[in-house]
Amino acid sequence: MATKKEPRAKPVQKKELLPSLIPALQPQAAEPEGEGEPCDQPCYEFNDALPSTSDDRKCRSCRKYLTTLCEQIEHFLDEDGDVD
C-alpha cells in the first residue's frame, strides 16, 4: 500500500522570526504626552543583553526593568499587581 506524500512546508527564514522574538526593538506607537513610560531616570542602567542601538534611556532598555531592583516598578503594575 503506497502512502501519499504530503507537501513539505517552505522553511522559515530566520530574519522573519526576529521581530517576534525581540518585541522591545519593534517600533513603538507614540503615546500621548504625559502617559509614556518614564525615561532618563537617575536609576537607569543599560541592559547589555540588548544591542547598543537600543540605548534610548527608556525604562524598557534598563537592566532593572520589571525586577525588584526597579525604582519605577509601580508605574508598570496595575492595581492587582500585574504588569500593564
Look-up: residue for cell 492587582?
Answer: 80
Q: In angstroms, how far apart are the furthest CA atoms of the chain?
A: 72
C-alpha 73/C-alpha 44 separation (Å) is 12
**pLDDT tens-digit map of 12-53:** 555 544 445 445 544 454 444 445 678 889 999 999 999 999
C-alpha 41/C-alpha 75 separation (Å) is 13
- Spans of all domains in the chain: 38-84
pTM of the model: 0.52
Cross-strand partners of 54: none
Q: How confident is the model at residue 1, as a pLDDT?
A: 58
